[in-house]
Amino acid sequence: MPRLVMKFGGTSVANVERIRNVAAHVAREVAAGYEVAIVVSAMSGKTNELVAWVKDAAPLYDEAEYDAVVASGELVTAGLLAIALRKAGIAARSWQGWQIPILTSDAHGSARIEGIDGARLDAGFARGEVAVIAGFQGIHEATGRVTTLGRGGSDTSAVAIAAAIGAERCDIYTDVDGVYTTDPRVVPKARRMERVTFEEMLEMASLGAKVLQVRSVELAMVHRVPTTVRSSFDPPDNARPGTLICDEDETMEQQIITGIAFSKDEAQITLRGVKDSPGIAAAIFGPLADANINVDMIIQTVSGDQSTTDMTFTVPSADYDRARTVLDAQSGAIEFAQIEGATDVVKVSAIGVGMRSHAGVAAKAFRALAEKGINIRAITTSEIKFSVLIDSAYTELAVRTLHSLYGLDQA
């Protein structure tokens, strides 16, 4: 029998009524002939509550015990869903991450999956059981301690389990009915896409789209797991197909640009009058890397006499103050004249595999933004995307302009 993994997020299992609705979605797939594994998140808001309890108990807490606490939210959901399925006449049992086991690193709070033994799940399928698995968690084999995968980790759990058991696909159920060309709250004409490539979805997820967690898309791409984003709020007996994330060769010829993403989690730092000499870039970015501060856009402008340079780059807004502290501490080694910064910036990106075979795609956008009076602070490009850093006040105007420019408004 074909196998299917279904993942349900926090809003989909927010209360017992929603859990009964999830059970009805599962019943539909069981009736269609699938062996089903379900991965669930904690009920909406529950993880935040558990984290708050930990911090209230001790601001400087033990990370392993933190994981022991926050992993419990998914256990409750898994047990309740298994009960609801049994009440509906479907054989089911709940599984904790360590019972399968899902083996992970020992980085508590942000562990990475190292392996999954699907033998116990295979035995459950042979008994005709639906497996209801607590997402977001695993076990570090050497210590025997429960670990968690970080926020959004249930998506990662689901894709990894789909790969481990050879599932036909992995369906991610959420509160939206698919992946849109951009945020519909910003552009009412945004459209749901029927298909998007792994590469495009990875770029969109990393550039601000909140539909899927980045690590889950990486896993899906590496293991070639077709992944569908669907809505659990659709009627179980009339659910829409959602958006399929798949290989590029499974998509038809499409528009050059697939979607527009934006991220407000950006801050800009500029070092003025930096001495232009070999090793200066390493002197700037090495200490930032040592402090685990991710640097994105980088622009270097050399002075006319080629003796000094201005270096502009972006960091996550949450790391802005820490980045400035690191750079101030390196002022003697870097020898910059002045440091400037801005947090009122946003990164707007256009993504599409069609950019590989078309020239002038980004230039077209630069002209359109200029005509709207939008100044570009920085630019980065790759094979299938380009990003511009602009003042945050122009976010909606820029997104709408690019969305229309590339014909994404059209059905």
Neighbours of 14 (CB within 10 A): 18
Q: Is the peptide bond before 278 cis (omega within 30 degrees of 0)?
A: no
Which of 208, 92, 190 is closest to 400 using CA atoms?
A: 190
Which three-class secondary structure state does DSSP give residue 177?
coil
Give the whole-number percent of the chain exceeding pLDDT 90: 77
Q: Are 203 and 385 in contact (CB under 8 A)?
A: yes
| Top-ranked range on mean pLDDT: pick from 80-94, 267-281, 337-351 | 80-94
Name the band, by pLDDT with cuts 50, 70 and 90, for residue 199: very high
Name the band, by pLDDT with cuts 50, 70 and 90, for residue 39: very high
**Residue 51 pLDDT exceeds 80:** yes
* pLDDT tens digits for range 275-333: 888 888 899 999 999 998 999 899 888 766 677 888 999 999 999 999 999 999 988 88
pLDDT for 73: 97
At CA 392, angle to CA 387 and CA 394, rounded to 5? Answer: 85
Give the whole-number percent of the chain exceeding pLDDT 70: 97
- Count of helix runs (H) and strand runs (E) in the chain: 13, 20
Token pair in block for residue 156 = 């990662």
Which of 155, 213, 215, 210 is closest to 182 using CA atoms?
A: 210
Cα distances (angstroms) measured from residue 128 to each of 1, 30, 36, 121, 153: 11, 10, 10, 11, 27
pLDDT for 346: 96
pLDDT for 305: 66
Nearest-angstrom CA–CA distance, 141 and 163: 20
Token pair in block for residue 391 = 């003042």
* pLDDT tens digits for range 89-121: 999 999 999 999 999 999 999 999 999 999 999
Instruction: State the average pLDDT for the chain.
Output: 92
* pLDDT tens digits for range 391-401: 999 999 999 99
The pTM score is: 0.84
> Top-level CATH class of 3-251?
alpha beta
Name the band, by pLDDT with cuts 50, 70 and 90, for residue 250: low
What single string gives the DSSP state of each residue in 279-346? THHHHHHHHHHHTT-----EEEEE-TTSSEEEEEEEE-GGGHHHHHHHHHHTHHHH--SEEEEESSEE
Cα distances (angstroms) measured from residue 53 to each of 67, 69, 294: 12, 9, 30
* pLDDT tens digits for range 144-160: 999 999 888 999 999 99
**Residue 382 pLDDT exceeds 80:** yes
Neighbours of 265 (CB within 10 A): 13
Q: Domain residues of the chain, as ranges? A: 3-251, 253-411
pLDDT for 334: 84
Domain 253-411: CATH superfamily is VC0802-like (3.30.2130.10)
**Residue 252 pLDDT exceeds 70:** no
Nearest-angstrom CA–CA distance, 116 and 100: 7
Count, residues in the chain? 411
pLDDT for 251: 64
